Protein backbone atom coordinates (compact mmCIF):
# COMPACT_ATOMS: atom_id res chain seq x y z
CA UNK A 1 0.00 0.00 0.00
CA UNK A 2 2.90 2.35 0.67
CA UNK A 3 4.27 1.67 -2.81
CA UNK A 4 0.85 2.29 -4.36
CA UNK A 5 0.59 5.52 -2.38
CA UNK A 6 3.86 6.73 -3.89
CA UNK A 7 2.63 5.80 -7.36
CA UNK A 8 -0.18 8.34 -6.95
CA UNK A 9 1.54 11.13 -5.02
CA UNK A 10 5.03 11.88 -3.74
CA UNK A 11 3.50 13.41 -0.60
CA UNK A 12 3.08 9.84 0.68
CA UNK A 13 6.61 10.55 1.96
CA UNK A 14 5.10 12.35 4.97
CA UNK A 15 3.91 9.07 6.51
CA UNK A 16 7.27 7.33 6.00
CA UNK A 17 8.99 8.77 9.13
CA UNK A 18 6.20 7.29 11.26
CA UNK A 19 6.48 3.89 9.55
CA UNK A 20 10.26 3.92 10.07
CA UNK A 21 9.81 4.81 13.76
CA UNK A 22 7.23 2.06 14.16
CA UNK A 23 9.61 -0.42 12.54
CA UNK A 24 12.48 0.57 14.82
CA UNK A 25 10.20 0.35 17.87
CA UNK A 26 8.37 -2.92 17.18
CA UNK A 27 10.19 -4.73 14.37
CA UNK A 28 6.99 -6.63 13.63
CA UNK A 29 7.70 -6.79 9.92
CA UNK A 30 10.76 -7.40 7.79
CA UNK A 31 12.85 -4.46 6.63
CA UNK A 32 12.51 -6.02 3.17
CA UNK A 33 8.95 -4.67 3.11
CA UNK A 34 10.45 -1.25 2.44
CA UNK A 35 12.15 -2.65 -0.66
CA UNK A 36 8.85 -4.27 -1.63
CA UNK A 37 7.23 -0.83 -1.46
CA UNK A 38 9.89 0.53 -3.83
CA UNK A 39 9.29 -2.43 -6.15
CA UNK A 40 5.53 -1.87 -6.21
CA UNK A 41 6.09 1.82 -6.91
CA UNK A 42 8.36 0.92 -9.84
CA UNK A 43 5.88 -1.65 -11.21
CA UNK A 44 3.15 1.00 -11.26
CA UNK A 45 5.02 2.58 -14.17
CA UNK A 46 4.86 -0.58 -16.30
CA UNK A 47 2.41 0.88 -18.88
CA UNK A 48 4.76 3.83 -19.39
CA UNK A 49 7.80 1.54 -19.80
CA UNK A 50 5.96 -0.46 -22.44
CA UNK A 51 5.34 2.78 -24.30
CA UNK A 52 8.97 3.83 -24.33
CA UNK A 53 9.57 5.67 -21.06
CA UNK A 54 12.89 5.19 -19.27
CA UNK A 55 12.85 2.44 -16.63
CA UNK A 56 14.05 4.93 -14.01
CA UNK A 57 11.54 7.62 -14.98
CA UNK A 58 9.41 7.39 -11.80
CA UNK A 59 12.46 7.94 -9.59
CA UNK A 60 13.83 10.73 -11.79
CA UNK A 61 10.50 12.57 -11.83
CA UNK A 62 10.26 12.62 -8.04
CA UNK A 63 13.95 13.48 -7.65
CA UNK A 64 13.54 16.45 -9.99
CA UNK A 65 10.47 17.64 -8.08
CA UNK A 66 12.52 18.14 -4.92
CA UNK A 67 14.41 20.99 -6.59
CA UNK A 68 11.54 22.58 -8.52
CA UNK A 69 10.38 25.19 -6.02
CA UNK A 70 12.79 27.62 -4.35
CA UNK A 71 10.43 29.04 -1.75
CA UNK A 72 9.90 28.16 1.88
CA UNK A 73 6.14 27.99 1.30
CA UNK A 74 3.85 27.98 -1.74
CA UNK A 75 0.48 29.00 -0.23
CA UNK A 76 1.01 26.46 2.56
CA UNK A 77 0.49 27.15 6.28
CA UNK A 78 4.23 26.78 6.88
CA UNK A 79 5.97 27.69 10.12
CA UNK A 80 8.70 29.41 8.12
CA UNK A 81 6.44 32.17 6.83
CA UNK A 82 6.53 33.49 10.39
CA UNK A 83 10.34 33.53 10.19
CA UNK A 84 11.02 34.49 6.59
CA UNK A 85 10.79 33.24 2.99
CA UNK A 86 14.52 33.20 2.22
CA UNK A 87 14.82 29.70 0.74
CA UNK A 88 18.59 29.86 0.23
CA UNK A 89 19.18 30.83 3.85
CA UNK A 90 16.55 28.72 5.59
CA UNK A 91 15.86 25.51 3.64
CA UNK A 92 18.69 23.47 5.16
CA UNK A 93 17.75 24.67 8.64
CA UNK A 94 14.15 23.61 7.95
CA UNK A 95 15.20 20.10 6.92
CA UNK A 96 17.47 19.70 9.95
CA UNK A 97 14.73 20.92 12.30
CA UNK A 98 12.18 18.51 10.82
CA UNK A 99 14.55 15.54 11.08
CA UNK A 100 15.37 16.57 14.66
CA UNK A 101 11.70 16.71 15.64
CA UNK A 102 11.10 13.27 14.13
CA UNK A 103 14.18 11.99 15.96
CA UNK A 104 12.85 13.34 19.26
CA UNK A 105 9.54 11.63 18.54
CA UNK A 106 11.37 8.33 17.94
CA UNK A 107 13.15 8.74 21.29
CA UNK A 108 9.81 9.38 23.02
CA UNK A 109 8.33 6.29 21.34
CA UNK A 110 11.29 4.12 22.33
CA UNK A 111 11.16 5.40 25.92
CA UNK A 112 7.44 4.67 26.18
CA UNK A 113 6.37 8.31 26.48
CA UNK A 114 4.44 7.96 23.24
CA UNK A 115 2.40 4.78 23.30
CA UNK A 116 1.71 2.88 20.07
CA UNK A 117 -0.03 -0.05 21.73
CA UNK A 118 -3.63 0.98 21.04
CA UNK A 119 -5.34 2.08 17.85
CA UNK A 120 -6.13 5.65 18.91
CA UNK A 121 -2.63 6.53 20.09
CA UNK A 122 -1.17 4.77 17.04
CA UNK A 123 -3.31 6.89 14.71
CA UNK A 124 -2.58 10.05 16.71
CA UNK A 125 1.17 9.45 16.38
CA UNK A 126 0.78 8.92 12.63
CA UNK A 127 -1.17 12.19 12.40
CA UNK A 128 1.54 14.01 14.37
CA UNK A 129 4.22 12.96 11.87
CA UNK A 130 2.10 13.89 8.85
CA UNK A 131 1.44 17.27 10.49
CA UNK A 132 5.04 17.96 11.48
CA UNK A 133 6.58 17.30 8.06
CA UNK A 134 4.60 19.78 5.92
CA UNK A 135 4.55 22.34 8.74
CA UNK A 136 8.34 22.53 9.06
CA UNK A 137 9.79 21.33 5.72
CA UNK A 138 10.60 23.89 2.99
CA UNK A 139 8.86 24.29 -0.39
CA UNK A 140 5.49 23.03 0.84
CA UNK A 141 2.24 23.48 -1.12
CA UNK A 142 -1.16 24.07 0.48
CA UNK A 143 -2.46 20.70 -0.76
CA UNK A 144 0.20 18.66 1.04
CA UNK A 145 -1.89 18.44 4.22
CA UNK A 146 -4.56 16.26 2.61
CA UNK A 147 -3.26 13.15 4.38
CA UNK A 148 -3.34 14.99 7.72
CA UNK A 149 -6.98 15.97 7.17
CA UNK A 150 -7.91 12.34 6.46
CA UNK A 151 -6.11 11.01 9.55
CA UNK A 152 -7.66 13.66 11.81
CA UNK A 153 -11.15 12.81 10.55
CA UNK A 154 -10.50 9.13 11.28
CA UNK A 155 -9.22 10.10 14.74
CA UNK A 156 -12.39 12.08 15.39
CA UNK A 157 -14.47 8.95 14.86
CA UNK A 158 -12.17 7.08 17.24
CA UNK A 159 -12.23 9.79 19.93
CA UNK A 160 -14.29 12.97 19.60
CA UNK A 161 -11.73 15.07 21.49
CA UNK A 162 -9.80 15.22 18.19
CA UNK A 163 -12.72 17.00 16.50
CA UNK A 164 -11.23 20.44 17.21
CA UNK A 165 -7.98 19.54 15.46
CA UNK A 166 -9.80 18.09 12.44
CA UNK A 167 -12.01 21.20 12.20
CA UNK A 168 -9.03 23.57 12.38
CA UNK A 169 -6.98 21.57 9.87
CA UNK A 170 -9.83 21.27 7.35
CA UNK A 171 -10.76 24.95 7.68
CA UNK A 172 -7.13 25.94 7.08
CA UNK A 173 -7.04 23.62 4.04
CA UNK A 174 -10.17 25.26 2.63
CA UNK A 175 -8.77 28.77 3.09
CA UNK A 176 -5.30 28.02 1.69
CA UNK A 177 -6.61 26.02 -1.26
CA UNK A 178 -9.11 28.76 -2.13
CA UNK A 179 -6.28 31.31 -1.92
CA UNK A 180 -4.21 29.20 -4.33
CA UNK A 181 -6.98 28.24 -6.77
CA UNK A 182 -9.13 31.39 -6.84
CA UNK A 183 -6.96 34.14 -5.39
CA UNK A 184 -9.37 34.68 -2.50
CA UNK A 185 -8.87 34.96 1.27
CA UNK A 186 -5.17 35.83 1.01
CA UNK A 187 -5.74 38.18 3.95
CA UNK A 188 -6.37 35.13 6.15
CA UNK A 189 -3.17 33.23 5.33
CA UNK A 190 -1.12 34.76 8.14
CA UNK A 191 -3.83 33.88 10.65
CA UNK A 192 -3.97 30.36 9.22
CA UNK A 193 -0.26 29.91 9.83
CA UNK A 194 -0.53 31.09 13.44
CA UNK A 195 -3.59 28.87 14.02
CA UNK A 196 -1.83 25.88 12.44
CA UNK A 197 1.30 26.25 14.61
CA UNK A 198 -0.74 26.71 17.80
CA UNK A 199 -2.96 23.72 16.93
CA UNK A 200 0.15 21.59 16.28
CA UNK A 201 1.63 22.59 19.64
CA UNK A 202 -1.62 21.74 21.44
CA UNK A 203 -1.94 18.46 19.53
CA UNK A 204 1.62 17.55 20.59
CA UNK A 205 0.71 18.32 24.20
CA UNK A 206 -2.43 16.18 23.93
CA UNK A 207 -0.48 13.28 22.44
CA UNK A 208 2.12 13.36 25.22
CA UNK A 209 -0.40 13.97 28.00
CA UNK A 210 -2.68 11.13 26.89
CA UNK A 211 0.19 8.70 26.91
CA UNK A 212 1.33 9.96 30.33
CA UNK A 213 -2.15 9.36 31.74
CA UNK A 214 -2.31 5.96 30.05
CA UNK A 215 1.02 4.94 31.59
CA UNK A 216 -0.12 6.08 35.04
CA UNK A 217 -3.32 4.06 34.72
CA UNK A 218 -1.33 0.96 33.73
CA UNK A 219 0.96 1.39 36.75
CA UNK A 220 -2.03 1.82 39.06
CA UNK A 221 -3.66 -1.29 37.61
CA UNK A 222 -0.49 -3.35 38.08
CA UNK A 223 -0.12 -2.16 41.68
CA UNK A 224 -3.72 -2.96 42.52
pLDDT of res. 215: 57
Instruction: Identify the H or E element spanning 222.
Output: helix 189-223
pLDDT of res. 180: 81
| pTM (predicted TM-score) | 0.88
The pLDDT > 90 percentage for the chain reads 59
Count H helices, E strands: the chain? 10, 2
Query: Is the pLDDT at 6 greater than 60, yes or no?
Result: yes
The torsion of the CA quartet 210, 197, 77, 127, rounded to 10 degrees, works out to -10
Query: Is the pLDDT at 135 greater than 60, yes or no?
Result: yes
Comparing C-alpha atoms, which of 141, 143, 163 is closest to residue 152? 163
Query: Is the pLDDT at 49 greater than 80, yes or no?
Result: yes
pLDDT of res. 186: 67
Segment 56-75 mean pLDDT: 84
pLDDT of res. 217: 55
Report the distance separating Cα 156 and Cα 167, nearest Å. Answer: 10
* Beta-ladder partners of 75: 141
pLDDT tens, residue by residue, 164-210: 999 999 999 998 888 888 877 666 778 888 999 999 999 999 999 88
Report the distance separating Cα 22 and Cα 29, nearest Å. Answer: 10
Residue/partner pairs of 144-148 with CB below 8 Å, 24 or more apart:
144/11, 144/14, 144/76, 145/76, 145/77, 145/169, 145/172, 145/173, 146/11, 146/173, 147/11, 147/12, 147/14, 147/15, 148/14
Query: What's the mean per-residue pLDDT of the chain?
Result: 88
CB distance 98 to 135 below 8 Å: no
Compute CA distances 65 → 58, 73, 140, whole Å: 11, 15, 12
Q: How many CB atoms lie within 10 A of CB 41?
A: 20
Query: Is the pLDDT at 136 greater than 90, yes or no?
Result: yes
Phi and psi (nearest 5°) for 24? -60, -40
pLDDT tens, residue by residue, 138-151: 988 888 999 999 99
Amino acid sequence: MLGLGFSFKFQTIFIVPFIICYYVYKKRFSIMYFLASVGIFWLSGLPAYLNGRNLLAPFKIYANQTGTYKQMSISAPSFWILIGNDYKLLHQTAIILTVTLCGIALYLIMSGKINLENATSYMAAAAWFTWTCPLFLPAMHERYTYLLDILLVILTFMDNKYLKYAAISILISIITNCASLFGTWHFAIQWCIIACVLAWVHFTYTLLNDNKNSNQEEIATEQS
